[in-house]
Chain A
Amino acid sequence: MATLTVPVTVPSPAEDCEQLRKAFGGWGTNEALIISILAHRNASQRRLIRSTYSQIYGEELLKSLNDEISGDFERAVILWTRDPAERDAMLANEAVLRWKPGNPVLIEIACARTSSELFAVRQAYHTLFKRSLEEDVAAHTTGSFRKLLVPLVSSHRYEGPEVNMKLAKSEAKILHEKISDKAYDHEDVIRILSTRSKAQLIATLNQFNNEFGNAFNKNLKSDPKDEFLASLRAVVRCFCCPERYFAKVARVAIEGLGTDENALTRVIVTRTEVDMKLIKEAYLKRNSVPLDRAVAGDTSGDYENMLIALLGA
């Protein structure tokens, strides 16, 4: 499902570091060389390159990158180079400190990662920011959003496939009851969405559809401007159909005047090694244009080259 392309014979970390150092050296920077290496190494290879680089040159690779490149290209390269857990921790911290209702990043991290990946993010957050993720989310969000987001980022869901159909039926009923009463942030809704295992949750949502004739999300569209409802829909989509969810984030980032580079970078950098193939398929199906072409049409320079390389084009 990943679109990352790694060469058949990978140079040793030391060789890669030497090349990267060359790319930084002298006047100007050889961005194409940076992309040709980093955009074609997986997470463990990148980790090795980083540790080898500091051993050989006594300086952090990320710092060198920060000194030599800039703008959207720099953000994409640095986020990409980091370990997934650290990367998510940084994205989460950014989202929390600049919190605005409707910001989907925390939901993506809480719901479109496995339980163990989310936990790794929480550990990385401790190390990077000297606080827990949940304490920051709790301190910076308010109202219904806090009620939803704190349990979501604190969740440690069971990861097994077991499903209790009786429970799925009864919880589908509870959801239906609360949603019909417009009690969208009711504690039972939050409880079910933030504690049940993924398998159980999907079964519950399917039951909802069977019992009540339409999908759970359809019932959450009463007010298109309501950010909380949008958040609930995002939770469901990240669980049930992440590839379509991310394809939509990409589309929204690209369409219209200007590009939301942060959102585009986030989708591509966080999903390249996960399910980017599926996202590309979903994008093509929905928009009749391949994602690579849309990205190329809307971005330029080294930033564009980096994204295209990650998309496997």
Chain B
Amino acid sequence: MADENQLLKKAFSGHGGFGVDEATMVAMVTKWRRQPDQKSRFRRDFSEFFTTIGSIEKCEDDYLLRLKTEFSRFKNIMVLWLMHPWERDARWMHHVMHKSYPFTVIIEIACTRSSEELLGAKRAYQALFDHSVEEDVAYHIKENYSKLLVGLVSSFRYEGSQVDNEMAKCEAKALNSAIKSAGSGKLIQNEEIVRILTTRSKRHLKAIFKHYKELHGKPIEEDLGANLCLQETVKCIDRPAKYFSEAINNAFKEGADKQSKIALTRVIISRADVDMEVIKETYHKQFGIKLEDMITKNTHGHYKDALLSLVGK
């Protein structure tokens, strides 16, 4: 255990300008797969790189900067992999406002993490950036979807099993009326739609979507038209595996832009320890090819090895 930590520390040390030892890092990724405690212990042991603010763990900014060139060849995958999930999510959300990441990243994080994970990410955000994520999103995002985003990020959804089916049916009908009465450009600002999507529990929302289909003959996504935010929100809440599998596929498409490729790293790292098996199944079903094969075909070198280790055999 202590030896592995030493090895990995050395691998991260930058060899005085000769780059980081990528092979060792990839080997660790494989070894420590699905073992967040191992990573936790390593972070606590490696005080030059990782520190804590209260109960929040974070990377030392200086260290990150120094190894930036080293790490960039690896597309940041190793640092991200080692980071505490809360710090990762906080940094990704911060990038939306300060590095032009697409705002859909906020929808992704706010809707696919559990209530506790989202809370952790928000606390990490405060520790890292001296602001709450809510105030930053509200301040920096001025587009018409801002209310939806602030609502999503402020939520602390009930996670128990209790669902009021009558209310769910009622709200499915309310959503349908709201969709019909609002013009298609105005859907995103409709108060009822935003209220229901940003405050109801996930189980309740899934029940609503089910009732919607039964009552109105088609899934709610069809009626949401070209509204990207609402579509993504519904998908992230209702079928996150499908959302992630499509995000991965977009990265491999011809002419995929930089953000789509960044999404590949983000999805695989954030889901490796969570629901990667389900995502792989979904991917295979949806696109007719195994995720591992797609990665092997389209990526190279240590980055490829790291991805394959994260995705698992």
Task: Please report A residues at the B interface, Cβ cutoff 8 Å.
Answer: 119, 122-123, 126, 130-135, 138-139, 146, 150-151, 154-160, 162, 187, 191, 195-197
Interface mask (B185-214 → A, CB under 8 Å = 1, otherwise 0):
000000100010011110000000000000
| B138 partner residues in chain A, CB cutoff 8 A | 191, 195
Say yes or no: is B292 at the interface (Cβ < 8 Å to chain A): no
Interface mask (B223-255 → A, CB under 8 Å = 1, otherwise 0):
000000000000000000000000000000000
| A196 partner residues in chain B, CB cutoff 8 A | 135
Nearest Cβ on chain A to B82's Cβ, whole angstroms:
26
Question: B154 and A157: CB pair below 8 A?
Answer: no
Say yes or no: is B166 at the interface (Cβ < 8 Å to chain A): no
The total of Cβ contacts below 8 Å across the A-B interface reads 83
Question: B154 and A151: CB pair below 8 A?
Answer: yes
Known: A126-B159, A130-B162, A155-B154. A135 touches B199 (CB 8 A): yes
Provide 23 A-B residue pairs closer than 8 Å at the C-beta atoms, listed in order of the A residue. A123-B156, A126-B159, A126-B160, A130-B158, A130-B160, A132-B155, A132-B158, A132-B199, A132-B201, A134-B154, A135-B157, A135-B201, A146-B191, A146-B195, A150-B199, A154-B154, A154-B156, A155-B154, A156-B154, A157-B134, A158-B130, A195-B134, A196-B135
Q: How large is the interface on B (under 10, 10 to 19, 20 to 34, 35 or more residues)?
A: 20 to 34
Nearest Cβ on chain B to A309's Cβ, whole angstroms:
35
Task: Please report B residues at the A interface, Cβ cutoff 8 Å.
Answer: 119, 122, 126, 130-132, 134-135, 138-139, 147, 150-151, 154-160, 162, 191, 195, 198-201
Known: A131-B201, A135-B200. A126 touches B126 (CB 8 A): no
Partner of A191, one of B131, B139, B195, B198: B139
Measured CB to CB, the nearest residue on chain B to A142 is B191
Nearest Cβ on chain A to B46's Cβ, whole angstroms:
27
Besides the known contacts A157-B132, A187-B147, A195-B135, 18 further A-B residue pairs in the complex with CB atoms under 8 A apart: A119-B119, A122-B156, A130-B158, A132-B199, A134-B154, A135-B157, A135-B200, A154-B151, A154-B156, A155-B154, A158-B126, A158-B132, A158-B135, A195-B134, A195-B138, A195-B150, A197-B132, A197-B135
Complex Cα distance A154/B147, Å?
A: 13
Known: A130-B158, A132-B157. A155 touches B134 (CB 8 A): yes
Nearest Cβ on chain B to A235's Cβ, whole angstroms:
15
Question: A195 and B155: CB pair below 8 A?
Answer: no
| A160 partner residues in chain B, CB cutoff 8 A | 126, 130
Nearest Cβ on chain B to A196's Cβ, whole angstroms:
6
| A195 partner residues in chain B, CB cutoff 8 A | 132, 134-135, 138-139, 150
Known: A158-B131, A158-B132, A191-B138. A151 touches B150 (CB 8 A): yes
| A197 partner residues in chain B, CB cutoff 8 A | 131-132, 135
| B162 partner residues in chain A, CB cutoff 8 A | 130-131
Question: B132 and A138: CB pair below 8 A?
Answer: no
Which 5 A/B pairs are nearest by Cβ-Cβ distance?
A195-B135, A135-B199, A154-B154, A130-B162, A138-B195
Question: A135 and B158: CB pair below 8 A?
Answer: yes
Nearest Cβ on chain B to A173's Cβ, whole angstroms:
14
Measured CB to CB, the nearest residue on chain A to B136 is A195
Complex Cα distance A181/B199, Å?
A: 31
Complex Cα distance A150/B191, Å?
A: 12
Nearest Cβ on chain A to B172's Cβ, whole angstroms:
14
| B119 partner residues in chain A, CB cutoff 8 A | 119, 156
Question: B160 and A138: CB pair below 8 A?
Answer: no
Complex Cα distance A41/B11, Å?
A: 56
Known: A156-B132, A195-B134. A138 touches B139 (CB 8 A): no
Question: B132 and A134: CB pair below 8 A?
Answer: no
Complex Cα distance A123/B160, Å?
A: 12
| A130 partner residues in chain B, CB cutoff 8 A | 158, 160, 162
* Most A-side CB within 10 Å, residue of B147, B150, B155, B199: B199
| A159 partner residues in chain B, CB cutoff 8 A | 126
Complex Cα distance A135/B147, Å?
A: 15
Nearest Cβ on chain A to B129's Cβ, whole angstroms:
9
